[in-house]
Amino acid sequence: MSDILQTIKTLTEINSPSGNAEKAIQYVKETVEDIGFSTELTNKGALIINVTGDNQEQQRCITAHVDTLGAMVKEIKEDGRLAIDLIGGFHFNAIEGEYCEIQTEAGDIYTGTICLHETSVHVYKNNHEVPRDIEHMEIRIDEKTNSIQDTKDLGIEVGDFVSFDPRTEITQSGFIKSRHLDDKASVAMIIELLKKIKEENVRLPHTTQFYISNNEEIGYGANASLPDNIVDFIALDMGALGDGQSSDEYTVSICAKDSSGPYHKGLRSQLVQLCKMNDIPYKVDIYPYYASDATSALKAGADIRHGLFGAGIESSHALERTHIESIEATQNLLYAYCMSPILK
């Protein structure tokens, strides 16, 4: 598991908010090509790896995404600080006090901290009552800037991307905690699978397109560039944990339904049977406020059977955490699924 954990750590430390994921895509591209697979980039910047299998008439697509939550400079304030607009589905309370980086159009990087304007309890008595929203949250830049012009002189402008410090740690007890495990943990699993396929000269039963998307967090990641002969479409993405959920950090989570509706019953049943046949610990769950690249593909008109499974991720879209047991279970199901026939 050490290789995959290191790959996850490397990926999480590459800033890639939706709309600015080129560096992460390039890392995956170079890594996969070093393994020995050819790749192609789509017009919108996603990465496709085609692995030829025995059956080329009925093919699979397996997707994971490297894009993450982030923000964008909305306004330079009178005192030189920055108001921000969020990228992706989360709230300001999830990033209060977080260190961040601002990337200018010229490529310069500045650091800062995301703060409540009324942070100091020595000045603002009731600051705990102040709403954490776009009017009160801001970036305190780590530069001598006290005016709009001071900040502009740094090259910072409206529209510059803001990335959050992932704070990735791997504990002795087997946990990995970090921002952006959604969905860089899954991308790392695909990389490890491709290593196994190449090193062991594995022949897949079906030609499989591995699609590394770069816009999933904003709703249109892997919903295009799909060949007509794609039959099954799997979104390899996180399992959502919390009250009322059956998923945990030690099993693979198989999604039965999310906010878009039920996933394909037959494909879900196949995933469950593969877990039972291969002694893979699993949980079936419903994610009430969730959507994936698989649902985006259906909404775009793809005629596919769609499914979703992934590692159980605690505190999704905030300071996330999972355990190596969940990663291992997910890896095992991914391999078992890729080696199984497509069922109709």
Task: Tell me: is residue 285 an annotated ligand-binding position.
Answer: no
Per-10-residue mean pLDDT for the chain, 344 residues long? Answer: 93 98 98 98 95 97 98 98 97 97 97 97 94 97 98 98 97 97 98 97 98 94 85 97 97 97 97 98 97 93 96 98 98 98 89
Task: Tell me: is residue 323 an annotated ligand-binding position.
Answer: no
Q: What CATH code is assigned to 3-68+180-339?
A: 3.40.630.10
d(C-alpha 159, C-alpha 286), whole Å: 36
pLDDT of 223: 80
Strands 175-178, 320-323: pairing kind: antiparallel
Task: Tell me: is residue 180 an annotated ligand-binding position.
Answer: no
Cα three-residue angle 267-295-85, rounded to 5 degrees:
145
Active site residues: 216
d(C-alpha 5, C-alpha 11), whole Å: 10
pLDDT of 220: 86
- 3-state DSSP assignment of residue 36: coil
How far lies 285's CA from each of 61, 279, 318, in Å?
22, 18, 20
pLDDT of 221: 80
Task: Tell me: is residue 65 an annotated ligand-binding position.
Answer: yes
Q: 30-69: b or e for each residue (b if 16 or more CB lie within 10 Å)?
A: ebbeebebebeeeeebbbbbbbebeeeebbbbbbbbbbbb
Q: DSSP class of residue 54?
A: S
d(C-alpha 98, C-alpha 163), whole Å: 10
pLDDT of 120: 95
Q: Are 136 and 118 in contact (CB under 8 A)?
A: yes
Domain boundaries of the chain, sorted by first residue:
3-68+180-339, 70-164
Q: Are 188 and 181 in contact (CB under 8 A)?
A: no
Task: Tell me: is residue 317 an annotated ligand-binding position.
Answer: yes
What is the fold, at CATH topology level, of the domain defined by 70-164?
Elongation Factor Tu (Ef-tu); domain 3 (2.40.30)
Q: Six-digit token pair at 308?
A: 């979703």
Amino acid sitting at position 50: N
Q: Are 227 and 50 in contact (CB under 8 A)?
A: no
Tally Cβ neighbours within 10 Å of residue 181: 29
pTM of the model: 0.96
Q: Are 141 and 81 in contact (CB under 8 A)?
A: yes
Rounding to the nearest 10 degrees, give the CA dihedral for residues 204, 207, 210, 216.
-130
